[in-house]
């Protein structure tokens, strides 16, 4: 029979200390510490940037290889040797006949750096260059300069005047390069036996991009056979209380209502009568504040129940101390598309729309999926919904768990954890009776910060090491 031990852990963000003690005489059997680097979230940006750079370089290399194959198939030199700089060659291509090597050099140079395609994704509040202009502002400035010129003419002018081309000013749209390429090819095609098939293939190489949600190409070990829903479900994780169910998408109407009611049930009102919100008060706050205001405020809630803002306690706050409440993003987005009450009051339909918008990123795919639901939406409404953006992430719970608790949130003043306890809903335990170690993969579904997650994983590794060293261990 195994001896009884007590294993104590001291878990920190960069270390896990442990002590193994005899259960009976309390003597120390073993002790030590496991050191590790903190999972600093700030380091993610650097890794993400380098990963993005490697991806761009890999795709550029692949694009140039395909361009060379196309050139070779039309008896053009895939590895041209030209002494002139490519900007001069491109400008020359508008007026004079280029040699085979010059044309190849111009087309390869255009394919190498082809501009910005999605301005909305590229441009952010912090995206400003050395000249103080954001990407969107710089593109607008260059667009004005391109009204009577092509990209290469502007680039050559800057090269001659400033002795450089690349930099903050060298931001152009992909369509600007496509426009230039079409002009060059229209002049040169008859002199190099280039047909429309060549032009179409080259322009496609220049402007076509793989959307991030399309995933790896065919044959990749990291692909998902083109099934976007299958891919997204792999990322969603499982419900804490019903592991057989996937988590709800973050902006499902039911998820927003759950969060809002939980916020309201946490409020404490300083007044003579009931210090908690009643059902009618919660109903009116949801209908008259949350559903009418995109960003509900403490002042609006206080006005709805006829109390002063300073008489309300228990709300969530931002890092700066500002009160924050749940925003019904989906409801307001759908409301901007349709005023049909049958749509706005159909919780099941709203949840289904939120799932489609979260999983499918292409407007065309969103339209196809909404049409397949056979919902009470007009063609115009479906088209409008397909243009909605900003739907990412998942909730901590499945819709199954949310729907069980929502009625309790309406009828009582308890928060979600109190309700889970009262309903005897407990996170499902993992059966490790036949296991000889604790799998670290269990932590992957935990909704915790990267710092805490690393500490958990390192703690499990310590426990596994102790178990391995003490075969007869009974903790």
Question: For residue 33, what pLDDT is reported?
Answer: 95
Question: For residue 226, what pLDDT is reported?
Answer: 61
Final residue in a domain of this structure, among 409, 435, 455: 409
Q: Could you tell me the two tokens for 132?
A: 């103080």
Question: For residue 475, what pLDDT is reported?
Answer: 46
Claim to verify: residue 160 and residue 260 sit in the same structural domain = no
How many structural domains are present in the chain? 2
Please give the DSSP secondary-structure letter assigned to residue 289. I
Residue 44 lies in a domain: no
Q: DSSP assignment of 433-474, as one string?
A: TT-SS--GGGGGG--S-HHHHHHHHHHHHHHHHHHHH-TT-B
Residue 223 lies in a domain: no
Final residue in a domain of this structure, among 409, 436, 469: 409
**Edge-to-edge, what's the strand order for the sheet holding 15-22?**
5-11, 15-22, 28-35
Q: Counting Cβ atoms within 10 Å, is residue 385 exposed (0-12), middle (13-18) or buried (19+)?
A: buried
Residue 101 lies in a domain: yes
Residue 192 lies in a domain: yes
Question: For residue 224, what pLDDT is reported?
Answer: 55
Claim to verify: residue 110 and residue 184 sit in the same structural domain = yes
- Picking from 423, 425, 463, the residue whose alpha carbon sits closest to that of residue 443 is 463
Claim to verify: residue 92 and residue 195 sit in the same structural domain = yes
Residue 262 lies in a domain: yes
Claim to verify: residue 182 and residue 273 sit in the same structural domain = no
Residue 445 lies in a domain: no
Question: For residue 265, what pLDDT is reported?
Answer: 94
Claim to verify: residue 269 and residue 389 sit in the same structural domain = yes
> How far is residue 296 from each of residues 246, 282, 291, measured CA to CA in Å?
29, 14, 9
Question: For residue 129, what pLDDT is reported?
Answer: 54
Claim to verify: residue 332 and residue 190 sit in the same structural domain = no
Q: Domain range spanning residue 324?
A: 253-409
Residue 435 lies in a domain: no
62 contacts: CB under 8 Å, gap ≥ 6 = none
Rounded Cα distance between 71 and 194, Å, is 10
Rounded Cα distance between 22 and 255, Å, is 48
Instruction: Divide the 475 residues of the chain into consecutive groups of 10 and give the mean pLDDT of each group.
Output: 80 94 89 88 78 88 95 94 91 94 96 81 50 80 89 93 86 93 95 95 91 62 66 80 90 96 94 90 96 94 94 92 93 95 93 94 90 86 94 92 94 90 81 80 72 90 88 52
Claim to verify: residue 261 and residue 403 sit in the same structural domain = yes
Claim to verify: residue 259 and residue 186 sit in the same structural domain = no
Claim to verify: residue 128 and residue 191 sit in the same structural domain = yes
Residue 245 lies in a domain: no
Final residue in a domain of this structure, among 381, 409, 437: 409
> How far is residue 224 from each of residues 154, 233, 244, measured CA to CA in Å?
43, 11, 21
Claim to verify: residue 200 and residue 282 sit in the same structural domain = no
Claim to verify: residue 395 and residue 284 sit in the same structural domain = yes
Q: How many CB atoms lie within 10 A of CB 458?
A: 20
Angle value at C-alpha 68, between 63 and 71, nearest 5 degrees: 125
Claim to verify: residue 130 and residue 257 sit in the same structural domain = no
Question: For residue 343, what pLDDT is reported?
Answer: 92
- pTM of the complete model: 0.63
């Amino acid at each position: 029979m195994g001896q009884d031990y007590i294993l104590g852990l001291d878990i920190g963000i960069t270390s896990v200390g442990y002590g193994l003690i005899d259960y009976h005489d309390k003597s120390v059997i073993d002790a030590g510490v496991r050191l590790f680097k903190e999972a600093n979230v700030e380091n993610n940006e650097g890794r993400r940037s380098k990963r993005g750079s490697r991806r761009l370089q890999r795709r550029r290399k692949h694009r140039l290889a395909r361009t060379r194959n196309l050139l070779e198939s039309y008896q053009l030199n895939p590895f041209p040797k030209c002494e002139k700089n490519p900007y001069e060659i491109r400008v020359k291509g508008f007026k004079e006949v280029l040699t085979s090597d010059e044309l190849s050099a111009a087309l390869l140079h255009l394919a190498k750096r082809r501009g910005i395609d999605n301005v909305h994704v590229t441009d952010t509040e912090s995206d400003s260059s050395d000249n103080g202009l954001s990407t969107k502002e710089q593109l607008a400035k260059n667009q004005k300069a391109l009204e009577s010129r092509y990209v290469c003419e502007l680039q050559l002018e800057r090269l001659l005047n400033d002795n450089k081309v690349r930099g903050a000013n060298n931001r152009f749209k992909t369509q600007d390069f496509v426009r230039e390429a079409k002009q060059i090819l229209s002049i040169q095609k008859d002199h190099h036996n280039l047909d429309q098939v060549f032009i179409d293939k080259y322009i496609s190489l220049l402007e076509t991009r793989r959307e991030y949600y399309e995933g790896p190409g065919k044959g990749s070990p990291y692909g998902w056979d083109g099934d976007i829903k299958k891919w997204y479900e792999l990322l969603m994780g499982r419900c804490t209380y019903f592991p057989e169910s996937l988590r709800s998408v973050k902006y499902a109407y039911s998820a927003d209502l759950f969060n809002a009611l939980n916020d309201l049930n946490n409020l404490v009102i300083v007044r003579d009568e009931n210090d908690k919100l009643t059902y009618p008060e919660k109903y009116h706050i949801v209908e008259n504040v949350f559903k009418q205001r995109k960003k509900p405020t403490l002042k609006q809630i206080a006005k709805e129940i006829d109390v002063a803002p300073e008489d309300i306690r228990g709300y969530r706050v931002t890092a700066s101390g500002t009160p924050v409440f749940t925003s019904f993003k989906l409801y307001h987005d759908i409301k901007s598309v349709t005023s049909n009450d049958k749509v706005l009051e159909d919780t099941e339909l709203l949840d289904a729309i939120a799932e489609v918008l979260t999983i499918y990123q292409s407007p065309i795919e969103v339209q196809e999926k909404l049409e397949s639901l056979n919902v009470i939406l007009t063609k115009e409404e479906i088209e409008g919904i397909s243009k909605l953006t900003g739907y990412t992430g998942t909730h901590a719970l499945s819709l199954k768990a949310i729907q069980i608790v929502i009625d309790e949130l309406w009828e009582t003043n308890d928060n979600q954890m109190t309700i889970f306890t009262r309903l005897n809903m407990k996170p499902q335990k993992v059966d490790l009776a036949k296991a000889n170690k604790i799998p670290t993969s269990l932590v992957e579904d935990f909704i915790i910060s990267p710092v805490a997650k690393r500490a958990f994983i390192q703690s499990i590794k310590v426990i596994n090491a102790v178990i391995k060293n003490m075969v007869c261990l009974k903790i």
